[in-house]
Amino acid sequence: MNGPEDLPESYDYDLIIIGGGSGGLAAAKEAARCGKKVMVLDFVTPTPLGTRWGLGGTCVNVGCIPKKLMHQAALLGQALQDSRNYGWKVEETVKHDWDRMIEAVQNHIGSLNWGYRVALREKKVVYENAYGQFIGPHRIKATNNKGKEKIYSAERFLIATGERPRYLGIPGDKEYCISSDDLFSLPYCPGKTLVVGASYVALECAGFLAGIGLDVTVMVRSILLRGFDQDMANKIGEHMEEHGIKFIRQFVPIKIEQIEAGTPGRLRVVAQSTNSEEIIEGEYNTVLLAIGRDACTRKIGLETVGVKINEKTGKIPVTDEEQTNVPYIYAIGDILEDKVELTPVAIQAGRLLAQRLYAGSTVKCDYDNVPTTVFTPLEYGACGLSEEKAVEKFGEENIEVYHSYFWPLEWTIPSRDNNKCYAKIICNTKDNERVVGFHVLGPNAGEVTQGFAAALKCGLTKKQLDSTIGIHPVCAEVAFFCFVFSVIKNLPLGRARWLKPVIPALWEAETGGSRGQEFETILANTVKPRLY
């Protein structure tokens, strides 16, 4: 895979990996398994508030793992409320203990940090807690937290440095705001919180903070969940608002001021409208910034060895074998340009890269149809294309979209959130109604989506989906009856998506609910004019 070069005859290592996250560790262990001499350099630059963590990268320390655990804490709070309807006598008012949750989460993360170090040692991978910077061809400088420098050489290098949260660049943001890098080890309850941003990080954090009983507001510049299916994103926002999370739309902060120091203290946020001169102010205990993440590629000496990056984003363009424009340097994970930013993707890419380099494999990482889940209060699982991307790729006339609302059986006894869970199947009508997008909102959405991801990889069609018998009663069975309603089957429909406004009323009409007249009105005013 490498081109001809004038190189030294020997190196300190076969492979040096910069970054000890999930992808880098996966590549390191796989290369070591192939008998190669491997080093991992990992260094966490402290946040503006001084937060740092151990080996394992974002996912383990300040991402997937603590996020899911805190989401679970919020779900348990709701389950305790629901339990009364199932006969459990919960006499006391349910309260949440932030300190105890943080202690439990950090103890678990600490055990994972230790486990990763043990695994590297067992594989004879050399690990240094040091900051890596290229200083010349095949050479790197490693600087530890005391400033001590060492120089190493390697035949190949792998960049797996990941991303870090972005700041606003306004007065007071780094002095007084926190990011997701700080939240999961925050030594005090954040209290009344303003979450700035509309990313999945913003909505997930807002969701579990509200779920444990905090007063939460989300400030959104434009749309929710950019890059995700907007139909699903809007439903998530609606559900969050219905459950007490406040949204301030089309505003951005322009100044953060401290009113009172403390843990958490008090902050004043001054924000401006994105489409007018209107200025608003609000007072909060904590401001959490979740406006996006930047690739950690600009201060590792890439310019010294000639590795090209996207100057705007910092992302690294690579070949389909994760090779940069410098033949002996590779890159994986969130720093790649136009690739999916997910932990399992980085792990897969790292393993497969090591197998190609050192075990004679030719298998490449497949970045298409990768499933993902957003752990908002109403979980969102997705695989394949959004409706917007499907229209862009195949043309609106060549896709069919099937929908269904559903009510989880577990939620019926507490009479909670009827007609809020939702599934959508997007099909390419020019390719035997092949399923090109799967989307579901509801409990355990990730568990539901995982199996459908394998089916999409195998070329699942709507006919095959319809012929599959579902398990009853579970949420996943909704995919097998999307849009199978007698009223609809008798209509000469060519575009299922026209019926989006109809489905909630139709569902109740079909099941003996009270909204039959509403369905007739919507059908007459919205659907039929589009049909005839």
Residues with a catalytic annotation lie at 472
Query: Is 198 known to sit in a ligand binding site?
Result: yes
Is the previous residue joined to 165 through a cis bond, with omega within 30 degrees of 0? no
Q: Is the Cβ–Cβ distance between 252 and 224 less than 8 Å?
A: no
387-394 and 230-242 helices, crossing angle to 10°: 170
Residues 6+ apart with CB under 8 A from 148: none
Query: Is 50 known to sit in a ligand binding site?
Result: no
Query: Is 203 known to sit in a ligand binding site?
Result: yes
Query: Is 103 known to sit in a ligand binding site?
Result: no
Query: Is 384 known to sit in a ligand binding site?
Result: no
Query: Is 306 known to sit in a ligand binding site?
Result: no
Please name which of 181, 179, 170 lies closest in space to residue 253, comparing C-alpha atoms: 170
Q: Judging by beta carbons within 10 Å of its beta carbon (0-12, 13-18, 19+), is residue 105 exposed, middle or buried?
A: buried
Beta bridge partners of 402: 425
Query: Is 200 known to sit in a ligand binding site?
Result: yes
Burial call 386-420: b when 16+ CB within 10 Å, e when fewer: bbebbbeebeeeebbbbbbbbbbeebeeeeebbeb
Query: Is 68 known to sit in a ligand binding site?
Result: yes
Query: Is 158 known to sit in a ligand binding site?
Result: no
Please name which of 161, 163, 164 lies closest in space to residue 329, comparing C-alpha atoms: 161
Q: Judging by beta carbons within 10 Å of its beta carbon (0-12, 13-18, 19+), is residue 435 exposed, middle or buried?
A: buried
Query: Is 180 known to sit in a ligand binding site?
Result: no
For residue 86, the 8-state DSSP code is G
Query: Is 308 known to sit in a ligand binding site?
Result: no
CA distance 355 to 35: 11
Q: Is the Cβ–Cβ distance between 216 and 209 less than 8 Å?
A: yes
**What's the token pair of residue 178?**
């926190």
Collapsing DSSP to helix, strand or coil, 495 comes out as coil
Q: Is the Cβ–Cβ distance between 287 and 178 less than 8 Å?
A: yes
Query: Is 440 known to sit in a ligand binding site?
Result: no
Collapsing DSSP to helix, strand or coil, 82 comes out as helix
Pseudo-torsion of CA 494, 482, 393, 353, nearest 10°?
Answer: -160
**What's the token pair of residue 373?**
């889940």
Q: Is the Cβ–Cβ distance between 288 and 178 less than 8 Å?
A: yes
Point out the annotated binding site for FAD: 68, 132, 334
User: Which residues are part of a known binding site?
Assistant: 68, 132, 197-204, 292, 334
Known binding residues for NAD(+) are 197-204, 292
